[in-house]
A and B are shown apart, each in its own frame.
Chain A
């Protein structure tokens, strides 16, 4: 997934780049790659990164415009096209992974979002994803109401009462971006052994132990 950042810069409209002065295309790309891989390997849905997605989508768009303007004989045209394809793959794969998590854990995710709103925290889902989740959950409700309406007394066993939750105790591979001291190996146990993790080291560990570190960007899943 290595992209030469000079290519991206060349293809960037100089007008567009004023909107994100502080971040270079190479940095956006790195951020997108991190975001994508984290989402792929985290059991639960992570806070959305709409800013990154939007920048990448804009970049794809402006690159495509520039590619169209290149002559068909220009052999670099194909190389630029391949880079656009790579970007698009990363973005769509990221969004697909999130949709699949939303569908699998929809009741759980919507409940958590509600709690976040009550506490005044920001939502994990993007606005569009939130709408998708609500539509999806409504269609499931409607379907199961029809299936189970043969017996009017089955009020306790509805589709939304049987919540499927992600298994945050599953194990993941991670790479640390900085030195972390005293990380509990088993976060559910108050007497758990603690480990120190050096910057750059890779370990396999229970996701729930590093959940917060993934979300604040101190470690990456790999």
Chain B
């Protein structure tokens, strides 16, 4: 049946919540190929169907193929669109530099889009107010100034905004200003102990 490949592409993406499967360029190419082929076959049949009236049944064939290629196009567009949506969320959650194993799952066009998006976002943030504003922090309403955190990795040296230097070792616990550690919690360096 028509549209199976497109369905598989979409199923693959829908199955993996919150993470991005490797860009499936093989399947994308096969579907693109199918669309081109359907288009060419329809063009040929369209010429034959107009020669004499008895062949007008070919119009049915053309309509079926046209429906199939529309479906293929929708699957392709939705596949790429939803991957970008996911990349966009990654920009907010990981920051402008992606972990290498995630990068490895992206196509070169996707990488280019990501860096463009990053630039667009930074330009916007810089243009707010007089000095710009960082929108990637203050994601949760503040309740307390200081919070207790546990370090999950050997992070190394970390400088607080007042100049104090800390050595962040795995499993060490710290009592720090909330504003200073929010980003590190989001990136999984710290765990917020409540």
Contacts and interface: CB of A to CB of B under 8 A. Distances in A.
B155 to A, nearest CB: 24
Q: Summarize B's interface: helix, strand, loop or mixed.
A: helix
A88 B84 CA distance: 29
Given A85-B178, A139-B120, A99 B36 contact: no
Contact of B128 (A93, A95, A135, A157): A95
Contacts of B117: 136, 139
B77 A131 contact: no
Contacts of A143: 80, 84, 109, 112-113
A171 interface: no
User: Which of A103, A132, A143 is packed against the most chain B CB atoms within 10 Å?
Assistant: A143
A41 interface: no
A3 to B, nearest CB: 12
Q: Summarize A's interface: helix, strand, loop or mixed.
A: helix
A82 interface: yes
A49 B8 CA distance: 45
Interface in A48-91: 53-54, 57-58, 61, 78, 81-82, 85-86, 88-89, 91
A141 to B, nearest CB: 11
A157 B138 contact: no
A205 B5 CA distance: 42
A147 B78 CA distance: 12
A88 B129 CA distance: 12
Contact of B129 (A54, A86, A144, A150): A54
Contact of B124 (A89, A131, A140): A131
A92 B39 contact: no
Contacts of A1: 141
Given A85-B142, A88-B138, A144-B77, A61 B120 contact: no
A86 B141 contact: yes
A159 B77 CA distance: 8
B145 interface: yes
Contact of A147 (B80, B124, B145): B80
Interface string A118-160: 0000000000110110011001100110111011011001010
Contact of B73 (A93, A129, A157): A157
Nearest to B115: A139
Interface residues of B, number: 40
B109 A78 contact: no
B148 to A, nearest CB: 16
A96 interface: yes
Contact of A91 (B77, B80, B120, B133): B133
B137 interface: yes
Interface string A8-38: 0000000000000000000000000000000
B13 interface: no
Contacts of A139: 113, 116-117, 120
Contacts of B32: 150-151
A148 B116 contact: no
B133 A135 contact: no
Nearest to A139: B116
Nearest to B28: A147
Interface in B154-194: 178-179
In order of increasing CB-CB distance, the 7 nearest A-B pairs are: A57-B129, A85-B142, A135-B120, A128-B127, A132-B124, A150-B32, A89-B138
Interface of A: 1, 53-54, 57-58, 61, 78, 81-82, 85-86, 88-89, 91-93, 95-96, 99, 103, 128-129, 131-132, 135-136, 139-140, 143-144, 146-148, 150-151, 153-154, 157, 159, 162
8 contacts: A57-B133, A61-B130, A85-B142, A139-B116, A139-B117, A148-B73, A148-B76, A154-B35
Interface of B: 32-33, 35-36, 39, 70, 73, 76-77, 80-81, 84, 88, 109, 112-113, 116-117, 120-121, 123-124, 127-131, 133-135, 137-142, 144-145, 178-179
